[in-house]
């Protein structure tokens, strides 16, 4: 069974940093690109960024709203994807989901809430 479990969310002050993890199981992690998507309270879904697999150079793409502040990485030996979030703003408050895939997004994690507030 494919499982994705996010962790690392919480309350953080504006300007601070937070790192989210997405621990996976049930599939060959290294064969799949991974994507992060967020959902602000009461709002729709917004793509954050995606990381490709090793054969594709682990190329990373970011949404304009987070580029330069957020960094996505992966550890294929641990089957974990990461989202490092720096210089957080109040508008980054959202539930953050990790997803399997890049163009074909099939499985979602349960999400982790990040609240940016002073």
Partner 1 sequence: QSVLTQPPSASGTPGQRVTISCSGSSSNIGSNSVYWYQQLPGTAPKLLVYSNNQRPSGVPDRFSGSKSGTSASLAISGLRSEDEADYYCATWDDSLSGPLFGGGTKVTVL
Spacing of C-alpha 52 from chain mean position = 13
Is 2 a binding residue for partner 1 by CB under 8 A? The answer is no
Residues in a beta bridge with 85: 18, 70
Binding piece for partner 1, criterion CB under 8 A, among 7-15, 24-32, 45-53, 70-78: 45-53
d(CA 9, CA 110): 12
* Spatial contact of 101 and 33, defined as CB atoms under 8 Å apart: yes
- Kindly tell me which residue out of 8, 79, 108, 113 binds partner 1, with binding defined by CB under 8 A: 108
| Sole window of 10-18, 21-29, 41-49, 80-88 interacting with partner 1 (rule: CB under 8 A) | 41-49
Q: How far is the CB of 23 from partner 1 (least distance, A)?
A: 15
User: Nearer to partner 1 by C-beta: 17 or 110?
Assistant: 110
Half-sphere exposure of 38 (CA within 13 A, CB side): 22
Residue 112 corresponds to which tokens in the numbers above?
């982790």
Q: Minimum CB separation from partner 1 for residue 110, in Å?
A: 5
């Amino acid at each position: 069974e494919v499982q994705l479990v996010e962790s690392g969310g919480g309350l953080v002050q504006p300007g601070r940093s937070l790192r989210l993890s997405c621990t996976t199981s049930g599939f060959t992690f290294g064969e799949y690109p991974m994507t992060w998507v967020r959902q602000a309270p009461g709002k729709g879904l917004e793509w954050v960024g995606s990381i490709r697999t090793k054969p594709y150079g682990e190329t990373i793409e970011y949404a304009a709203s987070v580029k330069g502040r957020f960094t996505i990485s992966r550890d294929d030996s641990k089957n974990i994807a990461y989202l490092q979030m720096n210089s957080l703003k109040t508008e980054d408050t959202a539930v953050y989901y990790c997803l399997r895939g890049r163009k074909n997004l099939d499985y979602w994690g349960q999400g982790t809430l990040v609240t940016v507030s002073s």
